[in-house]
Amino acid sequence: MKKYSLAIHGGAGTISKAQLTPKKELLYHEALQKALNVGKYFLENGGTALDAVEFSVRCLEDIDLFNAGKGSVFGNDGKHEMEASIMCGSTLNAGAVAGIRNVKNPIQLARMIKKNTDYVYLHGSEAENFAKINHLPFEDDEYFYTKERFEQLQAVKHSDKVILDHTDVDYKFGTVGAVALDQHGNLAAATSTGGLTNKRYGRLGDSSVIGAGTYANNETCAISCTGYGEYFIRTVVAHDVSCLMQYKGLSLQQASEIVIKDKLVKMGGEGGLIGVDAIGNIALVFNTEGMYRGYTSSKNTELTTKIYGD
């Protein structure tokens, strides 16, 4: 068997042991393992990196522990507005969608945009119409309701500085994502999020922005980011890692550390990324206290999942 690699994340932030009960910790590990198993199934059996990242992310979108799909946070208007993107490292084809509501799996819609249209990036109610025409599953508002997220919104709703105010944990940068190298030597990356609690004015983050939150190129790497989206957009994080590899000859790990631990830190941008390169090396780099993350590969087929810093 040729080699494969898979990494996933469920968001980065100020995750401290004091805040997570052992029971909740276990839930997170189980959820990450579940998503890894889904992607691994494709990779082990000669499937594509694109399928692996799409279905790993769909799995994370269906679990309300993460801020994506079902577990998306509430915007200021009490609604859930989501975004997602996916990119193929072999063709550089991409699909992205932003500002959509009630679509069960935004990453599935991003993939469909990539596959079925000449477009890359759709937004809003018209993107939802495209999903309806293509018979993608929708869910009502109730499906996206979680008590914890609702209470987060109530706590900050009338504050102007809401975005960064909530002291609670895993929602802040609770994006999800996956990156993979398949046995055919192709890379792919996928990212999905519910954005920021209490966000206003149709705010978009980096998760739907190709180059910022998601990027894949067989010549270098596949990257999925999670963090304070505005900084990731301004730094064009995912593409910057790729360029540092391609133009300066850095390794995936070196390039990721420069962008996340140096450039972003100097700007004040918190978050992290997961990456896999063309020969299967995996990087999981963050400048926050923790990042929900997991990985597996043909070299070590066990599933490793982690929450806190090493």
Site residues (CB under 8 A) for a copy of itself?
87, 92-94, 96, 98-99, 117-127, 129-130, 163-164, 199-205, 209-212, 215, 229-230, 233-236, 239-240, 243-244, 247-248, 267
Minimum CB distance to a copy of itself smaller for 43 or for 187 = 187
Encoded tokens for 61: 């979108």
Residue 142 has, within 13 A of its CA and on its CB side, a CA count of: 0
Output the smallest distance, CB 239 to a copy of itself, in A: 4
Phi-psi label, residue 89: left if phi above 0, alpha if psi -120 to 50, beta otherwise? alpha
Compute CA distances 253 → 118, 256, 257, 281, whole Å: 34, 5, 6, 8
Output the smallest distance, CB 259 to a copy of itself, in A: 12
Tell me whether residue 21 is one of the annotated catalytic residues.
Answer: no
Q: Which of 175, 197, 296, 305 is catalytic?
A: 175
Whether 54 contacts 190, CB under 8 Å: yes
Whether 28 contacts 10, CB under 8 Å: yes
List b or e across 232-245, with b for residues whose CB sees 16 or more CB atoms inside 10 angstroms: bbebbbbbbbbbbb
Output the smallest distance, CB 52 to a copy of itself, in A: 21
Cα–Cα distance for residue pair 42/52, rounded to 1 Å: 6
Active site residues: 175
